[in-house]
Amino acid sequence: MGLCNNRSDTGFYYMKPSVANRADQRRWGIVALLAVGFTIAYVDRTNLSIALATAEFRDAFSLTDVQRGLLNSAFFWSYALLQIPAGYITDRFGVRWPYAISFLVWSVVSAATALAGSFQQLFALRLLLGVGEAIVTPASMRWIALNVPEQRRGLAVAILFSGAKIGPALGADLSVRLIAGVGWQGMFLVLGVGSLVFLIPWLLFVKEGPAERPISRSGPHSESSIAGLFRTPLIYGILVGTLAYNYFNYFNLTWLPAYFVERWRFPLKDMGAFTAMGFLGMAAVAILSGAVADFWVRRGGDPVRVRKFFTMAGLAIAATEIVGSLTASRDIAVFFALLSLAGLGMTTANYWALTQTLMPGAAIGRISGIQNCAANIAGAVAPAVTGWMVQSTGSYDAPMRAILVMLLMGLASYALLVRRKYSPR
């Protein structure tokens, strides 16, 4: 391979220029492929929220607001529950085949939604979709942590999670068009079956090289073990901050289309356009903030301080959504909805990269699984609580106030608990 015998402090080998260029191209190619996988996963997660905003779909199943909330949250029940086991699987068996098998499962389940005939069947299929997609984040974060150095990791994570923003944007537009053209059954079928094409480049280009193979296990009493992690305040700060970020994130993924249609009376076409615009903007800001943070770190900035700054600034900007929700102007409401999504984008890359900076690397998949479990507990709670609040109060004011409280909790946790002095040795 032409590798030199020297090794840097980061654990990455020095290579001859030609070998290094090929390795770098492969690295960023696979990061892009992981982002495409994320995009498809989020299309399959969010297409239901578009269907739920249409009268045709609601009438077909005679859905109440509480049932809409339960359907939006069902995916996250199984998804959150399986994050830590999924992280263990990636640490134990690598990334390539667990990811491919899971991708096949969730694509088939997504397509099968077209055959649902009752609320109970829809609910069961959403639970199964969560099972299929559980591997996505632990596997992706493990690959990045083992293959991308600290000075580039913010950009890599941003590119990865841009898929979580492009997916809803693309999904909103495609779902609206497909529902208009072939109905909601055709929409689920086309998106589910069509996504299987992804498996061709995945199996061709992703190999289990030395960095991706299972890593050694940490001892049961070491601070890099799972039990050891929970003896430090740091993990609790990370988990509360993750819950706060994702409570608002999953409100947007599941209820934003209905919020635009029901609170502000936008037609379906405009709703799809504004939803897509918000998530595309979120993706662009995520990539830009990840790249700027990396540049700052390369210029000598402390990685913890830099990534905390972007994380907390983004949460503060996201909290401005409360202003838009209390206004009487549709234009002001849309402006703050888009601004708050940009704030989430500013946080996205850096709060995940911050965890990798502060946490040991002995169980990367499991650490990512723990954090993503917290993220998706919020995904289970936010849609259901929002549906209950909307049905109980007849408005979106209470859900928006709940979002503000969660974001303020997240800011406090990052300020007080997510600190270098609490990092496990």
Give the H or E element holding residue 13: strand 13-15
Most confident of 209-218, 337-346, 354-363: 337-346
Q: At which residue do the structure tokens 């601070």 appear? A: 223
Structure confidence by residue, pLDDT tens digits, 105-158: 999 999 999 999 999 999 999 999 999 999 999 899 888 888 888 788 888 988
H-type alpha helices, 135-207 = 136-147, 150-194, 199-205
Cα(278)–Cα(220) distance, integer angstroms: 44
* Pair 50, 171: CB distance under 8 Å: yes
Structure confidence by residue, pLDDT tens digits, 72-91: 888 888 988 898 899 889 88
- The 3-state DSSP class for residue 161 equals helix
- Count the neighbouring beta carbons within 10 Å of the beta carbon of residue 164: 24
For residue 93, what pLDDT is reported? 87
Comparing C-alpha atoms, which of 38, 40, 47, 37 is closest to residue 186? 47
Residue 416, C-beta contacts closer than 8 angstroms, at least 6 positions apart: 237
For residue 45, what pLDDT is reported? 85
- Count the neighbouring beta carbons within 10 Å of the beta carbon of residue 24: 12
Q: Quote the pTM value.
A: 0.72
For residue 307, what pLDDT is reported? 93
For residue 17, what pLDDT is reported? 58
Structure confidence by residue, pLDDT tens digits, 9-65: 444 444 455 656 777 888 899 999 999 999 999 999 888 988 988 889 999 999 988
Better pLDDT: 356 or 391: 391
Cα(87)–Cα(215) distance, integer angstroms: 12
β-bridge mates for residue 13, sequence order: 7
Mean pLDDT value across residues 404-413 = 97
Structure confidence by residue, pLDDT tens digits, 290-341: 999 999 999 999 999 999 999 999 999 999 999 988 888 989 999 999 999 9
Cα(31)–Cα(40) distance, integer angstroms: 14
Better pLDDT: 368 or 307: 307
For residue 212, what pLDDT is reported? 52
For residue 218, what pLDDT is reported? 44
* Pair 35, 162: CB distance under 8 Å: yes
Query: Which sequence spans correspond to the domains of the chain?
Result: 15-213+223-422
Structure confidence by residue, pLDDT tens digits, 180-239: 999 999 999 999 999 999 999 999 988 865 545 544 444 443 445 567 677 889 989 999
Burial (CB < 10 A; 0-12, 13-18, 19+), residue 303, is: buried
Most confident of 103-107, 254-258, 267-271, 364-368: 103-107
For residue 220, what pLDDT is reported? 41
For residue 360, what pLDDT is reported? 57
Cα(164)–Cα(166) distance, integer angstroms: 6
Mean pLDDT value across residues 243-258 = 90
Burial (CB < 10 A; 0-12, 13-18, 19+), residue 242, is: buried
5 phi and psi angles, rounded to 5 deg? -85, -15
Q: At which residue do the structure tokens 């997660």 appear? A: 45
Better pLDDT: 274 or 390: 390
Please tell me the CATH code under which domain 15-213+223-422 is placed.
Answer: 1.20.1250.20
For residue 201, what pLDDT is reported? 95
Strands 13-15 and 3-7: antiparallel
